[in-house]
Structure 1
């Protein structure tokens, strides 16, 4: 009797033990599966139709969404000349940046890959005035006649050495003294003659005090723009535009609109400048040239404006 009860107890004990072991194994399996599922989304997740799907990695784009929770859908490598630099669920990749825009003077530094955009840099002997990562146009580095103080870099122009040439200065002084003795009288005579020639057109001489420039006659510049462009040139026109707070993108657009033709670029920028200055354009032009030390150009502009058949604005 005792043996039967003991056998029955042992059987129940074995059954309970097996059930407990099964439950423990199921719990452990469920925990490991959850951990593996959460660890499988190494690039993060996104929600789609109530399910959390894994993001596609960098260099890939999404072709099909996942069908089960915490699984990755169907991802595909970016096509040639496209890229995706971050994990995503986009259906297409971004187009690679081109470094071959006309007259931008850029070249490829690092080619585009499925996971990284193209990186551009300035061509040799060119620099960019902005951050090279966002640079859209590079400019030729300045060529120095007397030597280089600071070399041209990717973000700054050459700084020339303005050191004095002792031999040149000595020769210049000797020649200047000799010429002064013979030519001072002739120079004064020519200057008086030039001033008298300017009086009938009511324009002031550029050597007069700057405060008198305000009395210059207002003249319509538009009929004379081609002639003025010949006098000013692209470099001086850019300087005038910058001094008149015309933004760099506007200046760059004029340059890009006329590749290699700086005369047309200067004409376009001068027209914009005239529109900005309105009726005071003629007076402001002479004044800016005077202030920037370009008195010879100011004088030539005044000669153009003093030609016959020029009506006041």
Structure 2
């Protein structure tokens, strides 16, 4: 008579234990000590520590795509090649091995701004613009001396040309005879004033010379920080900068607008978004000369405090 009741009790206990186990899957509270199975683990790109020549894919470290191509689909196994597709000739390019999911748009030379094509865009190299005749290069922030960011019209002289306009320098105009006579008169007045001043100096005792107070220069960075690996320290720089300032800096340093928009849409404008912008520029630029270029860009943007704070952070991290 008791056997059916015993079987019913065992079945109810087993059902209760099964429901408790299901509710506790993924529970990270101290009361639950079980671990979720591998498929429930969430992978983040920042958790992946990839080797040189690799990038953090969706879940694995993937080999970089070669120059002239981009990543269409990430690899499905660790340290394997992704699905790479070529850039479109004349439309976009990729000038180095990369892990980007789109190519960089080619620059367009604007004839109305005095620009002309020096060399066209290929899948391996961006367009190089030069200044047309009667224009000179006012700004060139690239490492290519043939390129120019902003062309300006050469000055037209009314009284003759002293030095002709070149690709990198504006015209130097003649000042005319009136200017020479004015300069001569100014020199005579300076000489007379200096003579009168010397006479008065002889009549009065010489004051004690006080050296002028020098304005402190901006903080340089020590030589032992040159060309160090910035990937991890850039996380600290992301903590001390505003998102808009980071966007201005990486755009000034050559990061394309499509890449900036893609990172903003994927990671937002918080700390992670700021870090991914800085890291994306760093992966594109490379380690050599990166710190010098970054500090100069920060100071050119008037961001001296973040630049000085970042140097202090690097000094604490790296001992000479």
Is the TM-score greater than 0.5? no
Larger Rg: 1
Between the two structures, name the one with larger relative contact order (CA 8 Å, sep ≥ 6): 1
TM-score scaled by length of structure 1: 0.35
TM-score scaled by length of structure 2: 0.34
